[in-house]
Amino acid sequence: MQKNKHIAALTMARNDDFFLRKWVEYYGRELGQENLYIFYDGEDQAVGDFCRETNVSVHPKIGTQVVAAEKGRLKFLSEQAAELFAKGYDLVIGVDADEYIVVDPKLGMGLREYLSRQDIDMCLSPLGLDFGQKLGEEGDLSFESPFLAQRHYAQIGTRYTKPSIIAQPCRWGSGFHRVKGHNFHIAEDLYLLHFGYADRKILEDRLGDVDRVAQGWEKHIYKRSRTIRYATEKKARDFDRWTRLARICQTWCRPPYALNKPAMFELKIVVKIPERFNDVL
């Protein structure tokens, strides 16, 4: 019988309790809330009640501008991951509060079982899916039903094919987008679902967040909001066919400026998520 690995998940959040609540709910169910490590970025942040059973702490705010803050944040989280390995964890998952790593339901297993079966040397990458909102068809995102029962369209995104799962101490690059000095391997039937730009109302609220604007996030948010337009306007492709092709493409194609990141010829492929995913998240 396969022995389950001891797996931790960590994140750092600021003004992001909507997605962080789902993060705790999802990873707590999959890994146990006692294995979740949450760091609030800034002592002006109030810890949500939903974090009670997790390992949560509040830290001085890291940086005031987006680039410097991201470098500092990932340096800090890489150091925290190293400490978790020292405590006896076999694997550490590092993701943002709006990112959820899920196993294809066709396998009939959860995240812990799936990862326990993987032979991981340094890191493992799920295939990235950047969710949008199909305006006119999908309403505001809420907790009244699973996220995947409310959102059905995502762009296959190289930005979210990240080495989020590590098996030994290392240094993540900004945004968890790479492990410095190491290649990546894209897992079969494993997906990273990014929901940060999957709701127009939440996006508008972020653009009205004085703290985010002051840090220089405004341009970034405008740029990434294209995901909603893609989900609304582009023809949705077959999920199983295009995710299979994307894995092949992203495995072999690399940007010349970062050979340990995936590329996909700038293709903007939107897929419709199969109904089998509806109750996963």
User: Band of the pLDDT at 210, cuts 50, 70, 90?
Assistant: very low
The confidence score (pLDDT) of residue 61 equals 86
Confidence class for position 67, pLDDT limits 50, 70, 90 = low
Q: Amino acid letter at 100?
A: Y
pLDDT at residue number 64: 57
Residue 72: its pLDDT value, please?
87
Is residue 94 within 8 A of residue 76, CB to CB? The reply is no
Please determine, for residue 92, whether its predicted confidence score (pLDDT) is greater than 80. Answer: yes
Average pLDDT value for the chain: 91
Give the Cα separation of 47 and 265 in Å (integer): 42
Token reading at 273: 């998520």
- Band of pLDDT at residue 222, cut at 50, 70 and 90: low
CA-based nearest residue to 80, from 11, 7, 173 = 11
- With bands split at pLDDT 50, 70 and 90, how would you rate the model's confidence at 237? very high
Task: Give the per-residue pLDDT at 266.
Answer: 85
Band of residue 259 on the pLDDT scale cut at 50, 70, 90:
confident
Say which amino acid occupies 114. Y
Q: Per-residue pLDDT averaged across 199-218, rounded?
A: 64
pLDDT over 90 at 69, yes or no: no
User: Which pTM value belongs to this model?
Assistant: 0.92
Structure tokens at 23: 């993060």
The whole-angstrom separation of Cα 278 and Cα 105 is 9
Structural domain boundaries in the chain: 7-277
Top mean-pLDDT range of 38-47, 104-113, 221-230: 104-113
E strand or H helix at 186: strand 186-194
Please tell me which residue, 123 or 203, carries the higher pLDDT value: 123
Instruction: Reply yes or no on whether the pLDDT at 217 is more than 50.
Output: no
For position 148, what pLDDT does the model report?
A: 98
Give how far the C-alpha of residue 182 lies from the chain's centroid of Cα atoms, to the nearest Å: 20
How much is the pLDDT for 62? 81
Say yes or no to pLDDT of 15 above 90: no
pLDDT at 231 over 90: yes
pLDDT tens figures, 148-160: 999 999 999 899 9
Q: Which residues contact 243 (CB under 8 A, 6 or more apart)?
A: 127, 156, 191, 271
